[in-house]
Amino acid sequence: MPYSFPLGPYHPALEEPFKVKVQCKGEVIESATVEVGFSYRGIELLAQKRNWVEVITLIERVCGICSNTHAMTFCMAAETIAGIELPKRAAHIRTIIAELERLHSHLLWAGVGAEDIGFHSLFMEVFTLRERVMDTLEAISGNRVNYGMNCIGGVLRDIPDPAAHLPALDALAKGLGEVVIPTFTQNPTALARTRGVGRLTKEQAVEWAVVGPVARASGLDIDVRKDQPYLSYADLDFESVVRPEGDVLARVVVRALEMMESVRLIREALLSLPPGPLRATQGLPEIPVGEATIRTEAPRGEAFYYVASEGGASPARVKIRTPSFVNIPAIEPMVMGQPLADLSIIQASVDPCISCTDR
């Protein structure tokens, strides 16, 4: 007899509230409905009531994991409106922080993914590695989560001794290459839970307009860092990772190889940190009348910002479209015909970030 099963809004594995309501026949899922909006905070409206400096602090709190992406993209939009050119050193530092953030976000996901398939020892391994990334971020910015690195026209903090962070990168590359990637791709327990599970074909990926690692795991080669290079990505010869399979394993592999690419990017950016000023402007920013749209590649995919200014103390409009906003609905085609027990890992495999989605 068919029955419906609500998973959430309090998720058994993820910390944030969203709901997947599935219709099952026996053990097999026939259809699914995704509900979001449980942690709506009205950040876009709040942003219109704060001045240009305060908005950066506010926007940084859109997401608890990819906080820097949001502040950075907003600052890039304001810089585009004001016609401020970012100093080279600031662009490199922003790239380093963005890639460190991608590393810690993907490691967090790998840990949660391992937990979802009941692989606790792998979770421990992954979070030991993630701690190195968090320590590096704390050493650079003074905080583990909301780094507060960005200001309109540059960055607020320098990396005075780039070579000091290289040992952490070596340890990370070693841990990823020797433990995390081989375990996810060779361990029979991990493979049994991920290979061929939650498949999203290339056509479905286009139809559901997914972005980021989910799209790249379905064979769509889209990455803003490559398609429309910003910051220092053009100088660092970024290469995107694409897999054609479209299952959970492919998403794991895409994220794992992206982490290796991030480690390489951070190392090159640290070694080639150009001298120069950190900020193009001094004092409080003055943004003229204008509007700008900016796309950046957040850890979960393309983040889109539209910022309009009427020349006042506050932005006239800040529109935020986060990657999870388009990735979460794609859970619906992924879970069709899959066993109920795989629902947890399938929905975790899109790396849903609910606070981003709800804003």
x/- contact string, 262-301, with other proteins (CB under 8 A)?
A: ----------------------x-----------------
Q: How far apart are CA 263 and CA 359, in angstroms?
A: 30
- Of these, 80, 146, 228, 281, which contacts other proteins (CB under 8 A)? 146
Task: Tell which residue, 96, 131, 130, has the closest CA to residue 267.
Answer: 96
- Of these, 4, 143, 189, 293, which contacts other proteins (CB under 8 A)? 143
x/- contact string, 2-21, with other proteins (CB under 8 A)?
A: --------------------
Q: Scanning residues 293 to 352, which ones bind other proteins (CB under 8 A)?
A: none
Alpha helices in the chain (DSSP H): 43-47, 52-60, 67-82, 88-116, 120-141, 166-175, 181-186, 188-194, 202-207, 212-217, 224-227, 248-271, 323-327, 331-335, 343-349, 354-358
Q: Are strands 150-151 and 154-155 parallel, antiparallel or unpaired?
A: antiparallel
* Residue closer to other proteins (CB basis): 4 or 51: 51
Q: How far is the CB of 138 from other proteins (least distance, A)?
A: 6
Q: How far apart are CA 280 and CA 345, in angstroms?
A: 45
Task: Note whether 151 binds other proteins by CB under 8 A.
Answer: yes
Looking at 51-59, 72-80, 109-117, 183-191, which segment touches other proteins (CB under 8 A)? 51-59
* Residue closer to other proteins (CB basis): 83 or 282: 282
Task: Note whether 58 binds other proteins by CB under 8 A.
Answer: yes
Q: How far apart are CA 101 and CA 296, in angstroms?
A: 13
Task: Note whether 61 binds other proteins by CB under 8 A.
Answer: yes
Task: Note whether 182 binds other proteins by CB under 8 A.
Answer: no
* Residue closer to other proteins (CB basis): 19 or 50: 50
- Of these, 111, 148, 153, 323, which contacts other proteins (CB under 8 A)? 148
Q: How far apart are CA 222 and CA 227, in angstroms?
A: 7
Task: Note whether 178 binds other proteins by CB under 8 A.
Answer: no
Q: How far apart are CA 191 and CA 175, in angstroms?
A: 19
Q: How far apart are CA 152 and CA 9, in angstroms?
A: 37
Looking at 49-57, 109-117, 177-185, 343-351, which segment touches other proteins (CB under 8 A)? 49-57
Annotation-wise, does 356 bind a ligand? Answer: yes
* Residues 119-145 as b or e (16 or more Cβ within 10 Å = b): beebbebbbebbebbbebbeebbeeeb
Residue count of the chain, please give it: 359
Q: Are strands 301-310 and 289-298 parallel, antiparallel or unpaired?
A: antiparallel
Which residues of this protein are in contact with other proteins, per CB under 8 A? 50-51, 53-58, 60-61, 128, 135, 138-143, 146, 148, 151, 156-157, 284
